[in-house]
Structure 1
Amino acid sequence: MFAPTQEQVRRFFCEAWARSQAGQPMQAIEQLAADWVAEHPEWHGELADADAAAARDYGTGAVGGNPFLHLSMHLSISEQCSIDQPRGIRQAVELLAARLGDLHAAHHAVMDCLGQMLADAQQRGGTPDGEAYLACVRRRATR
């Protein structure tokens, strides 16, 4: 299993964004990361300085306050949908995106479910409950 350090994650996003802006060839995961960075212009300046971004303390605040946590969640949801894991997540996210009229907005709604699943797992000291996560996304898709 790949377990990058905080600094590696931050540098990955900064480098993917820099490569995108420079028109350099990119791996598929770098392009996906750069696409999500492009959706968040509020962080473009911050990601332009990899050294400063790697050193910054974002605290333990919410997903919206830490660009790297937020962008990592976008990547995670994209990857979950690409392999449909947990089974049914792709359809649930597609339905939510159709209901909201925007994939980006759907991802933000899914982040609430993903964050809750992770918090619940951490609180009980167990593994994440993919079925509860999927049920949360489905509820949001059918509201």
Structure 2
Amino acid sequence: MLYTSERDKLRQFYVDCWQKARMNMPMDPMEQMVARVIEMHPEYHKMLENEKLGNEYKPEEGETNPFLHMGMHLGLQEQVVMDRPAGIKLIYQQLGEKIGDVMATEHAMMDCLGEMMWQAQKNQAEPDEQAYLACLKTLLLKYG
């Protein structure tokens, strides 16, 4: 099954990055980025060290998929670096100043990212960047 094979390769990449980080091995910039995200999530360390890759995570049963969660951090960080959608970099900076913690800032923003992705999938449409930015701007008011 292609999906499972590709999923497992991606999950193995996380394991490999974490192993390299723990062993102080040389890493390319992407591996360093992944290792930083993993470092921010000690609750995932044991799972990655035990290489438990094949688990199915069921949100309807209250389970969080750690690979999806970390992937959302990476996606959000990439959006900020590229400032795409335009304006997200400024929102990230302003929200970060208000919240005062990088991980808490990203977690707040990931709620909007997840909603945008869910809506796009539900509507079988491209992600609505304007709705996404509007959601992010409400966070600035919330943490005002």
| TM-score, normalised with respect to structure 1 | 0.90
What's the counterpart of residue 45 of structure 2?
44
**Please, what is the CA RMSD of the aligned residues?**
2.0
What's the counterpart of residue 26 of structure 2?
25
Q: For each residue in 1:2-39, what CA deviation from the matched residue of structure 2 results, as whole angstroms up to 9, or x when unmatched?
A: x9921122111111111000000001111111111111
What's the counterpart of residue 115 of structure 2?
116
Sequence identity, in percent?
A: 35
Give the stretch that moved more between structures: 63-72 or 74-83: 63-72
> 1: CA distance between counterparts of 2:105 and 2:61?
18
SS at 2:53's partner residue?
A: helix
Instruction: For 1:109, give the aligned amino acid.
Output: A
Q: Is the 8 A contact 1:117 1:129 kept in 2?
A: yes
Pairs aligned (count): 139
How far residue 59 of structure 1 moved from its aligned partner, in angstroms, is 2.5
Q: Is the 8 A contact 2:19 2:49 kept in 1?
A: yes
Gaps of 5+ in 1: none
| TM-score, normalised with respect to structure 2 | 0.89
Gaps of 5+ in 2: none
What's the counterpart of residue 34 of structure 1?
35
Structure 1 position 90 matched with structure 2 position 81: no
What's the counterpart of residue 106 of structure 2?
107
Q: Is the 8 A contact 2:57 2:63 kept in 1?
A: no
Q: For each residue in 1:114-138, what CA deviation from the matched residue of structure 2 results, as whole angstroms up to 9, or x when unmatched?
A: 0100111111111111111111112
